[in-house]
């Protein structure tokens, strides 16, 4: 790529910094908690239309996506939650590229714990604070702005560039990126612009959601001695699962995940619900959690491990002889994902990004899931890379503004180098 063309791209970002950040802020200011993505998708469709892309707003069809083995059953209807795809067809025979991002975010509750209002997109120093700033609206806008700047500068990629703003990633993305692939939006490579501190993520763990149900014996609070409290019966199961999670965390370590997340595998308990009245012995209790696993482990083996742990925790309690705990599997499920770092797409992106940013780019894995995992099922090499941020899914989530500029430049240069341009 010619030096003068690269200089034009850098100058464009420098001159349009305020516009880029304002666009991120506007998107963050639209609450798009999973299930309510519609208004945010209207905004993304307008952005794609404004730069002349062929825009497809489509509602996922569950009867189609559920046929794929990676499908995760959603908790919510897809109605009013379209995916938005913007396509630049290209001018010649260059390689194609998908720039992918999800518009849904997790709930900011409890909002009282935030220092900065979660939907205000407040700028303090070099950070924008707000729900979804890092995960992943800054990356989503970087995708858009990288293509926009090239078109504004009259730099037209030869290969097709597909921008995707998808729904439901936080709940498994059965109707998001998977639906886009199944609608035949495919390419020679895909980047999901998740917040990865400008490093390249090529792996993530397998994930399973589970629940454990325990029955007790309900009784009036004034006759509590006649009841069997399900809360107490759940307690040894909780302790056994916590112990299992700590043991696996110490014994299973992989360099990629340690670099990316600081730990390789987790077992976390997300909810415990029990009883329905203060003056009544709890007659039932339900625990829900998440366990992750790595290559070399299978879903079947992990399921057996959880069942064995639960049953062993209560094996000496006579109550459970006739009222055994019930283990169920639901929601998110996926095998570990790994992208070969020797693939030409990966090596090309790393080479381009390192030249653009003037520093080494590290290969990492993450202990959380992302939509790049769908790529191998559709012969599409896929990676994750995105701006720097923090407190993701927590209070006062933020993205670092300089990293947004840096990442957008890197994407624009890579589009030119991967898809080709007429110089």
Contacts of 176 (CB under 8 A, 6+ apart): 60, 83, 102, 104, 166, 167, 168, 169, 371
Q: Using the predicted structure, report yes or no on whether residue 109 has a pLDDT greater than 70.
A: yes
Q: Compute the average pLDDT of residues 46-51.
A: 98
Q: What share of the chain is helix, strand, coil (3-state, %, to 5)?
A: 40, 25, 35
Cα distances (angstroms) measured from residue 9 to each of 319, 348, 386, 409: 70, 19, 18, 7
Bond preceding residue 110 cis, omega within 30 of 0: yes
- 207-334 placed in CATH 3.40.50.970: no
| Confidence label for 70 from pLDDT (cuts 50, 70 and 90) | confident
Q: Rounded CA gap, 255 and 252, in Å?
A: 10
pLDDT, residue 139, reads 98
Percent of the chain at pLDDT exceeding 70: 100
pLDDT for 283 beyond 70: yes
Instruction: Kindly tell me the sign of the dihedral angle through the C-alpha atoms of 333, 59, 50, 381.
Output: positive
Q: Mean per-residue pLDDT for 115-140?
A: 98
Give the model's pLDDT for residue 75: 78
The pTM of this model reads 0.92
Average pLDDT on 88-111 reads 95
b/e string for 229-241 if b means 16 or more Cβ within 10 A?
bbbebbebbbebb
Average pLDDT, the chain: 95
Residues 6+ away with beta carbon under 8 Å from 284: 213, 214, 215, 216, 230, 274, 275
The predicted model gives 85-109 an average pLDDT of 95
Rounded to an integer, the average pLDDT of 292-307 is 96
Active site residues: 104, 169
**CATH topology classification for 3-204+336-419:** Aminopeptidase (3.40.630)
In the predicted structure, residue 272 carries a pLDDT above the cut 80: yes
pLDDT at residue 94 tops 90: yes
- At residue 423 the predicted structure's pLDDT band, cuts being 50, 70 and 90, is low
Would the pLDDT of 355 be above 70? yes
The pLDDT-based confidence of 331 (bands split at 50, 70, 90) is confident
For residue 244, what pLDDT band results from cuts at 50, 70 and 90?
A: very high
Q: Which part of the chain is CATH 3.30.70.360?
A: 207-334
What span, in angstroms and rounded, lies between the C-alpha atoms of 179 and 352? 30
User: Looking at residue 120, what is its pLDDT?
Assistant: 98
Q: Which residues contact 106 (CB under 8 A, 6 or more apart)?
A: 33, 34, 131, 135, 170, 393
Q: Mean pLDDT, to the nearest integer, of 281-300?
A: 96
pLDDT above 80 for 252: yes
The secondary structure of 128-183 as a DSSP string is EESTTIIIIIHHHHHHHHHHHHHHHTT--BSS-EEEEEES-GGGT-TTTHHHHHHT
Predicted confidence (pLDDT) at residue 2 exceeds the cutoff of 90: no
User: Residues 254-265: pLDDT tens digits?
Assistant: 999 999 999 999
Identify the pLDDT of residue 369: 87
Euclidean distance between CA atoms 221 and 280, whole angstroms: 5
* Residue ranges matching CATH 3.40.630.10 in the chain: 3-204+336-419
């Amino acid at each position: 790529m010619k030096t003068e063309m690269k200089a034009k791209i850098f100058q464009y970002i420098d001159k349009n910094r305020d516009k880029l950040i304002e666009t991120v802020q506007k998107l963050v200011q639209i609450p798009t908690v999973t299930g309510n993505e519609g208004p945010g998708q209207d905004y993304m469709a307008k952005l794609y239309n404004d730069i002349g892309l062929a825009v497809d707003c489509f509602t996922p069809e569950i009867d189609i996506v559920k046929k794929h083995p990676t499908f995760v059953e959603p908790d919510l209807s897809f109605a009013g939650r379209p995916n938005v795809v913007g396509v630049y067809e290209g001018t010649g025979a260059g390689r194609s590229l998908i720039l992918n991002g999800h518009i849904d975010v997790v709930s900011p509750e409890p909002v009282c714990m935030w220092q900065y209002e979660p939907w205000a997109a407040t700028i303090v120093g070099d950070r924008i604070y707000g729900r979804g700033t890092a995960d992943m609206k800054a990356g989503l806008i970087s995708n858009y702005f990288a293509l926009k700047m090239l078109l504004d500068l009259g730099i037209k990629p030869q290969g097709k560039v597909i921008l995707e703003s998808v729904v439901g990633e936080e709940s498994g993305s059965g109707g998001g990126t998977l639906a886009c692939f199944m609608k035949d939006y495919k390419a020679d490579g895909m980047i999901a612009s998740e917040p990865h501190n400008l490093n390249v993520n090529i792996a993530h763990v397998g994930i399973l959601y589970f629940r454990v149900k325990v029955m007790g014996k309900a009784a009036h609070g004034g006759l509590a001695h006649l009841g069997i409290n399900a809360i107490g019966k759940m307690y040894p199961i909780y302790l056994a699962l916590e112990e299992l999670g700590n043991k696996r965390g110490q014994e299973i370590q992989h360099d990629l995940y340690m670099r990316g997340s600081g730990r390789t595998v987790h077992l976390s308990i997300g909810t415990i619900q029990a009883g329905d009245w203060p003056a009544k012995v709890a007659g039932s209790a339900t625990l829900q959690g998440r366990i992750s696993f790595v290559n070399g482990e299978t879903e079947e083996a992990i399921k057996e491990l959880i069942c064995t742990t639960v049953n062993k925790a209560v094996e000496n309690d006579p109550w459970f002889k006739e009222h055994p705990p019930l283990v169920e599997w639901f929601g998110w499920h996926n095998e570990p994902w790994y992208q070969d770092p020797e693939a030409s797409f990966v090596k090309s992106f790393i080479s381009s990004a390192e030249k653009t940013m003037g520093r080494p780019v590290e290969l990492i894995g993450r202990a959380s899931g992302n939509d790049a995992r769908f790529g191998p099922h559709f012969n599409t090499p896929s990676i994750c890379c995105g701006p720097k941020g923090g407190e993701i899914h927590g209070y006062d989530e933020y993205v670092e503004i300089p990293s947004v500029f840096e990442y957008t430049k890197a994407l624009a240069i890579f589009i030119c180098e991967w898809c080709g341009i007429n110089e």
